[in-house]
């Protein structure tokens, strides 16, 4: 019987969110002592699948077996008790509490008699876990004071702190430097050797090749297949994930490069970035890449007037400007598509139409009053232009899939008269079809004479779409690569330092 062979088995899992089928009849099997990679494009449903396993979401259909016994987790604690620990993709920390508490929240160590929380033991144990992970900050540090990468390490420590049989890691390396990743690999292998099973999600192929024995691929919420890593070629794996040849994904449109529209000189904001200088011309797509936390978002938001830079100059169409608010930036022709579309891009409880017109209410106002007719017409035209899948402009944005939500944010940008578009991770959490549609839109925008800054962590996207690429590391631009110099190696080399080790320590101290 299969009962002995698999520690975890899921059959026919379907999970429907309002408006989105996040998982559609998905299968999964996990052996003891195995590192199992789970791959797929953004929005394929990986994270949702993980949350089904850990009891955060309950599936609408399907069954789950643990060591051959059918289980039904109603609450995250059920999964914890069953020996499943998870590192979630989006850091779920308590910024006001200490690292130790973040690690142990929900499964604190308490004295058996008095129920007292055993601080000393927890601090010691947390310190040990952190040292093992190569971190040098104290477990008593407040979580909110840590960098994203450090917070990710805490998340890993949290999973390790539960004596779990199954450990799930959802993109744990996304925020880590190479040496930090190495540390993580070592730990994962040690856990595997102890007989634990690990489910590992990553977009980095190197992670998978370095660690995993088995890989399962999801695409468009569906189960595609499971292979032994050494039995499938890279090419086939990509086709499995994407569903077509990757070259089709980036149909680079050749746009007419025009005059300069935006230039920065020595731009800096204390503690976030420094000496940022670049220029952008009409029709050009300028890539901005680097590791998570490199400071790209900070630069974009400083230009857009969210935060004020304290050094340097910004020139728009040759004229030096001071930008104090997003409104002023938009007045100067700069638009920004934020990184977090749910928090920064959309009013989720609103309909599509209202969202689209929010940034240009003046245009639909006559004699002080809003013109509903005009508003709805504009909304309809733009929603159709970017290809939102919806019945009417009265559909609530929260009911849309991630990709469609992102298209609504694009439509918002198109309402205003802009020259420069700053797109911060425009394809994050967007499904494959929507992704190629977004690439299409970006190409069209460049052709239409916009200057585009594309912030992205996805190598193929950057390489496939950009005319030039600026690579950032720790708040500074470390390389400016032209189209003919664009290779994965060149970008990686610029985003990570050779003397990584020493810098890690420096950063941690700061």
Q: Are 11 and 68 in contact (CB under 8 A)?
A: no
Which of 145, 148, 246, 448 contacts another protein by CB under 8 A?
145
CA–CA dist 419, 402 (Å, integer): 26
The crossing angle, in degrees rounded to 10, of helices 372-386 and 402-415 is 120
Tell me the two tokens of residue 452. 């585009």
Residue ranges that bind Mg ion, judged by CB under 5 A: 47, 89, 297, 339
Residue given tokens 């009417």 in the structure block: 392
Contact letters (x/-) for ligand ATP, 467-486, by CB under 6 A? Answer: -------xx-----------
Of the two residues 117 and 493, which places its CB atom closer to ligand ATP in the complex? 493
389 near another protein, judged by CB under 8 A: yes
Give how far the C-alpha of residue 304 lies from the chain's centroid of Cα atoms, to the nearest Å.
21
CA–CA dist 81, 77 (Å, integer): 6
* Segment lying near ligand ATP (by CB under 6 A), choices 293-301, 350-358, 441-449, 479-487: 293-301
Residue 439 touches which of another protein, ligand ATP, Mg ion, none (CB < 5 to 8 A by kind)?
none
DSSP letter for each residue of 208-271: HHHH-SEEEEEETTEEEEEEEGGGS-HHHHHHHHHSS-GGGG---------SEEEEEEEEEETT
CA–CA dist 424, 440 (Å, integer): 16
CA–CA dist 62, 26 (Å, integer): 8
508 near another protein, judged by CB under 8 A: no
Contacts of 351 (CB under 8 A, 6+ apart): 393, 394, 395, 396, 397
348 near another protein, judged by CB under 8 A: yes
Of the two residues 17 and 27, which places its CB atom closer to ligand ATP in the complex? 17
Which 79-118 residues touch another protein, going by CB under 8 A?
A: 80, 88, 92-98, 101, 105-106, 108, 110, 115-117
46 near ligand ATP, judged by CB under 6 A: yes
385 near another protein, judged by CB under 8 A: yes
The site that binds another protein (CB under 8 A) totals a number of residues, namely 88
CA–CA dist 179, 311 (Å, integer): 32
366 near ligand ATP, judged by CB under 6 A: no
Of the two residues 294 and 494, which places its CB atom closer to ligand ATP in the complex? 294
Which of 343, 489, 498, 499 contacts another protein by CB under 8 A?
343
172 near ligand ATP, judged by CB under 6 A: no
Q: Are 54 and 73 in contact (CB under 8 A)?
A: yes
* Segment lying near another protein (by CB under 8 A), choices 170-178, 229-237, 350-358, 459-467: 350-358
Of the two residues 21 and 374, which places its CB atom closer to ligand ATP in the complex? 21
Residue closest to 480 by CA, chosen among 256, 284, 251, 272: 284
Of the two residues 45 and 127, which places its CB atom closer to ligand ATP in the complex? 45
In angstroms, what is the minimal distance from the CB of 136 to another protein? Answer: 15
26 near ligand ATP, judged by CB under 6 A: no
CA–CA dist 215, 195 (Å, integer): 18
In angstroms, what is the minimal distance from the CB of 157 to another protein? Answer: 14
Residue closest to 220 by CA, chosen among 457, 462, 434, 438: 434
CA–CA dist 402, 390 (Å, integer): 13
Residue 354 touches which of Mg ion, another protein, ligand ATP, none (CB < 5 to 8 A by kind)?
another protein
* Segment lying near ligand ATP (by CB under 6 A), choices 185-193, 296-304, 414-422, 435-443: 296-304
Q: Which one-letter DSSP state was computed for residue 485? A: G
Q: From residue 42, how far is each of 22, 133, 158, 403, 431 by CA, in Å?
A: 11, 28, 25, 10, 6
Residue 298 touches which of Mg ion, ligand ATP, another protein, none (CB < 5 to 8 A by kind)?
ligand ATP
Which of 9, 298, 395, 461 contacts ligand ATP by CB under 6 A?
298
DSSP letter for each residue of 189-203: HHHHHTT-EEEEE-S
Return the SS3 of 63. Answer: strand
In angstroms, what is the minimal distance from the CB of 175 to Mg ion? Answer: 11
Positive or negative torsion for Cα 309, 315, 317, 321:
positive
Which 16-75 residues touch another protein, going by CB under 8 A?
A: 56, 75
92 near ligand ATP, judged by CB under 6 A: no
* Segment lying near another protein (by CB under 8 A), choices 23-31, 125-133, 142-150, 165-173: 142-150
Tell me the two tokens of residue 105. 């929240």
How many Cβ atoms from other residues are within 10 Å of residue 470's Cβ?
23
* Segment lying near ligand ATP (by CB under 6 A), choices 186-194, 225-233, 291-299, 309-317: 291-299
Of the two residues 204 and 507, which places its CB atom closer to another protein in the complex? 507
> In 318-391, at which residue ranges do the beta strands (DSSP E only) sit?
319-321, 334-337, 365-366, 369-370
Which 252-271 residues touch another protein, going by CB under 8 A?
A: 270-271
Residues of the shown chain interacting with ligand ATP in the complex, contacts defined by CB under 6 A: 17, 20, 22, 40, 42-48, 89, 147, 272-273, 290, 292-298, 339, 401-402, 429, 431, 457, 474-475, 507, 510
């Amino acid at each position: 019987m299969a009962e002995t062979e698999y520690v975890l088995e899921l059959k026919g899992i379907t999970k429907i969110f309002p408006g989105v089928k996040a998982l559609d009849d998905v299968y999964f099997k996990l052996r003891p002592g195995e590192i199992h990679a789970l791959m797929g494009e953004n929005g394929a449903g990986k994270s949702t699948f993980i949350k089904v396993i850990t009891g955060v979401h309950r599936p609408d259909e399907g069954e789950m077996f643990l060591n051959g016994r059918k289980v039904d987790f109603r609450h995250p604690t059920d999964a914890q008790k069953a020996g499943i620990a998870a590192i979630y993709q989006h850091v779920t920390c308590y910024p006001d509490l200490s690292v130790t508490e973040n690690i142990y929240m929900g499964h604190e160590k308490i004295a058996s008699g008095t129920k007292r929380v055993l601080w000393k033991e927890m601090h010691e144990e947390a310190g040990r876990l952190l040292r093992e992970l190569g971190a040098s900050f104290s477990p008593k540090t407040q979580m909110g004071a840590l960098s994203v990468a450090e917070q990710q390490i805490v998340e890993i420590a949290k999973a390790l702190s539960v004596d779990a049989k199954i450990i799930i890691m959802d993109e744990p390396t996304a925020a880590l430097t190479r040496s930090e990743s190495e540390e993580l690999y070592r730990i994962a292998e040690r856990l595997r050797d102890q007989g634990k099973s690990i489910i590992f999600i990553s977009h980095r192929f190197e992670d998978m090749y370095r660690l995993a024995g088995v890989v399962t691929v999801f695409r468009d919420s569906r189960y595609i297949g499971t292979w032994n890593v050494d039995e499938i070629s890279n090419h086939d794996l990509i086709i499995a994930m994407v569903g077509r040849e990757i070259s089709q994904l980036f149909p680079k449109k050749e746009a007419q490069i025009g005059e300069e529209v935006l230039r920065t000189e020595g731009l800096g904001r204390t503690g976030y970035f420094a000496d940022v200088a670049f220029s952008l011309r009409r029709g050009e797509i300028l890539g901005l890449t680097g590791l998570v936390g490199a400071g790209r978002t900070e630069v974009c938001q400083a230009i857009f007037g969210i935060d004020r830079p304290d050094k340097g100059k910004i020139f728009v169409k040759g004229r030096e400007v001071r930008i104090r608010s997003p409104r002023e930036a938009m007045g100067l022709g700069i638009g920004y598509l934020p990184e977090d579309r749910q928090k920064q891009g959309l009013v989720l409880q609103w309909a599509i139409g209202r969202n689209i017109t929010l940034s240009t209410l003046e245009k639909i106002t006559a004699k002080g009053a809003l013109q509903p007719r005009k508003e709805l017409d504009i909304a309809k035209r733009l929603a159709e232009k970017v290809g939102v899948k919806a019945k009417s402009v009265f559909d609530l944005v929260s009911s849309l899939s991630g990709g469609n939500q992102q298209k609504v944010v694009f439509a918002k940008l198109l309402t205003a008269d802009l020259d420069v578009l700053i797109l911060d991770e425009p394809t994050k959490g967007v499904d494959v079809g929507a992704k190629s549609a977004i690439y299409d839109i970006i190409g069209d925008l460049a052709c239409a004479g916009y200057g585009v800054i594309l912030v992205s962590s996805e190598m193929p996207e950057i390489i496939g779409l950009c005319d030039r690429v600026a690579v950032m590391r720790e708040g500074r631009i470390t390389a400016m690569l032209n189209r003919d110099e664009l290779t994965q190696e060149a970008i990686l080399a610029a985003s990570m330092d050779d003397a990584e080790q020493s810098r890690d320590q420096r950063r941690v101290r700061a």
